[in-house]
Structure 1
Amino acid sequence: MRRLPSPTLPARATVIWPAAVVGTIALALTGESTAHATPPAPLAALPPAPATLGQIPVLASAADAPATHTVEPGDTVWDIAQRYGLDVAALQAANGLAADSVIRPGQVLILGGAAPQPATPAPEPAQVTYEVTAGDTVSAIASAHGISTDAVLSANGLTRDSIIYPGEVLRIPSAAAPGPASAGPALAPGLDAEQSENARLIIRIGRELGVSDRGILIALGTAMQESWLRNLDWGDRDSLGLFQQRPSTGWGTPEQILDRERSIRVFYGGPADPNGSDTRGLLDITGWEDLPYADAAQAVQISAYPDRYAQWEQPATTWLAVLG
């Protein structure tokens, strides 16, 4: 937006740096602001036990359980605990499993007092990281990812007195596991409820204006780069909203920019632009359809980091497919 950039969400990575504080603004080091298999066959060695149709065969008592169990296709921790008369929590604790841990065929679980046997480790989950830019705070980064400030501090070995610096990479812990499916709106992969709602609005308005899918993809990626797809009431200098538009450069009053529908229409531009000719939206750029993804976004935003829009082209394609 003819401005220095707002904080950026980088792609998944694994580099972890120390540092950061809740209310402390990142110190600028430079001049720039920077997702069933066949049920397992009954074990021949197990004694018969009363069962009704649909129940899992169980042992008479936990004392009859073997020392270990090798996971078979279709097994769950609950199934295994029921089969051997064990407590689910105790089985998880004996094997270092969390409530949301995934067990895999071939993995050996410890059932009783026998010495631990090697287990097939589950693959490490992909780590989400965030590269600090000038003006960032831990609390703002945590809020943008839908998690608590303390979760970010703990994941990075930080305290509330720590300072974060531009260029440092913070580990972003996973948000709490989702509960049972509800009848609420669908969420796009990688987006929480707020982000999905904003993405859905960008798509709807784009459709109303007759914008092509490519134009909508550019709008989605731009909003993710500029505001994490959140209607922020803060930003670099006087930047605000989904697209970090600036009142001082003619994009509207603060109240107008924080009106999500209006700011989206202003980004698209064209004949229906609420700003008229005062600003230039995507549809006002000659030949924008033929520009590379990042170049088209940059033509509207005029960012100090134009290459960063490119990272959102593929994710935006997925969001449009799910929400559009």
Structure 2
Amino acid sequence: MRRLPAAPVRPRALTVWPAAVAGTIALALSGENAAHATPPTPALSAVPPAPLTVGGPVLAAASAPVSYTVQPGDTVWAIARAHGLDTAAVLAANGLDGGSVIRPGQVLVLAPAAVSAPPASEAPAPARAHVVNAGDTVSAIASANGVSTDAVLAANGLTRASIIYPGETLQIPAPGADTSAGSVASAGPATAPGLDAEQSDNARLLIRIGRELGVSDRGIAIALGTAMQESWLRNLDWGDRDSLGLFQQRPSSGWGSPEQILDREHSTRAFYGGADDPNGSATRGLLDIPGWEGMSYADAAQAVQISAYPDRYAQWESPATVWLAVLG
């Protein structure tokens, strides 16, 4: 049974993490079995119009420095993006670095003189994506995009023995970026696009357990997107009410003790459910949902989580597919 969203929880300090695929995620957790994040839209309604960039320095709407008051859920990356600015420049203009914490109410300076986009000649070529079609091979995809086979393998954590399937998304590196690709392809990349080291490590765990349980790629992708929506793919020791962990499972709803839920293996196996569910029949995981394979991505996640915001899982379907292709 779903409940109306709970009252907002006390704002917490927000760490400036590497940019997530969809930008910032504002946390306002609520739900029956889990705490569910609000849409990934920064609160930027009362700000000046975004500056315009034309292959060079940002042209500010006004000559005077612009400031921005941090709202709950903001990240420096999202603030910079909303104003058409470079994240590194915003960090530098405020004496911050990648490990700094910004807090609601803090005022950031967006100075036109100090905050500018890098020259077009210095900007790295953006990564491209290719959705695998029937009959595709890595070598053919690489050749069509003007890069080496080893570069494509390395960018996606694949080896020459790997198999690609129709519907998978492969990241295509920029031409000239394929150096020392063979060694990277063997070990796999440290992180996936849009994820930092901690998030990538948690994603690998979800993928590994899913493989052990015989879960399909789509089921694993649902787990990845659900964990991103619930906890930013972080093993949180806090949440709405008593929600905890990667999937914001609640001890009061039978998902286990706090210690069990904070055990990533336990909580992941409980999310997948099935015959190896550590909770037995006390909770219902993805594999316990009749016909989940035929449901939409968001509906399958919602069937497990019983969220007050069921439509928010859908935004992670494409990113999760990429993370699985790169890390799995």
With normalisation by structure 2, the TM-score equals 0.51
Say if 2:100 is the partner of 1:148.
yes
Superposition map of 1:42-61 within 5 A: none
Q: Are 2:259 and 1:255 equivalent residues in the alignment? A: yes
1:5 and 2:9 correspond = no
The answer as to 2:56 corresponding to 1:121 is yes
The 1:120–1:2 alpha-carbon spacing in structure 2 relative to 1, beyond 3 Å, is closer
Amino acid at match of 2:37: P
Could you report, residue by residue, the CA deviation over 1:122-181 in whole angstroms, capped at 9, with x for unpaired residues?
789xxxxxx977xx698xx99xxx7422488767569xxxxxxxxxxxxxxxxxxxxxx9
Question: How far did residue 192 of structure 1 move?
Answer: 0.3
| Mapping 1:139-288, distance limit 5 Å | 147-150=99-102, 156=108, 186-288=190-292
1:319 to partner: Cα distance: 0.3
1:259 CA drift (Å): 0.2
- Deviations 1:246-278 (Å, cap 9, x if unpaired)? 000100000000000110000000000000000
1:205 Cα deviation (Å)?
0.3
Distance 1:188 1:152, change over 3 A: farther
Alignment CA distance shift 1:155-1:265 (3 Å)? farther
Inter-partner Cα distance in structure 2 for 1:296 and 1:147: 35
CA contact (8 A) 1:3 1:304 kept: no
The change in CA–CA distance for 1:202 and 1:132 in structure 2 (over 3 A counts) is: farther
Residues 1:155 and 1:9: Cα distance change in structure 2 (over 3 Å)? farther
CA separation in 2, counterparts of 1:226 and 1:235?
A: 9
Q: Give the distance between the partners of 2:215 and 2:311, measured in 1 at CA.
A: 23
- Name the structure, 1 or 2, with higher relative contact order (CA <8 Å, separation 6+): 1
Return closer, same or farther for 1:233/1:17 CA change in 2, 3 Å cut-off. Answer: farther
Counterpart position of 1:318: 322
1:156 and 1:123 map into 2 onto residues whose CA distance is 17
Aligned counterparts of 1:137 and 1:255: Cα–Cα separation in 2: 30
Could you tell me whether the CA contact under 8 Å between 1:7 and 1:132 is conserved in 2?
no
Instruction: Quote how far apart the aligned CAs of 1:6 are.
Output: 3.5
Q: Is the CA contact 2:209–2:269 (under 8 Å) kept in the aligned structure 1?
A: yes
In the other structure, the counterpart of 2:298 is 294
Distance apart, 1:10 and its partner CA: 1.3
* Equivalent position SS for 1:190: coil
Question: Is the 8 Å Cα contact of residues 245 and 251 (structure 1) preserved in structure 2?
Answer: yes
Distance 1:123 1:213 in 2: 42
Inter-partner Cα distance in structure 1 for 2:232 and 2:327: 17
Q: Could you tell me how far 1:7 is from its partner in structure 2?
A: 3.2
Consecutive unaligned residues of structure 2, counting only runs of 5 or more, are 1-30, 48-53, 60-69, 80-97, 111-179
Provide the aligned C-alpha RMSD in A: 3.8
Contact kept, 8 Å, 2:235 with 2:246, in 1: the verdict is: yes
Task: State the partner residue of 2:307.
Answer: 303
| CA displacement at 1:8 relative to structure 2 | 3.9
Q: Which amino acid in 2 is paired with 1:306?
A: P
Structure 1 residue 3: Cα displacement:
4.0
The amino acid of 1:5's aligned partner reads: A
Give the secondary structure class of the aligned counterpart of 1:232.
Answer: coil
Kept after mapping to 2: 8 A contact 1:17/1:156:
no
Contact 2:36–2:308 (8 Å) recurs in 1: no
Structure 2 counterpart of 1:148, one-letter code: S
SS state of the match for residue 271, structure 1? helix
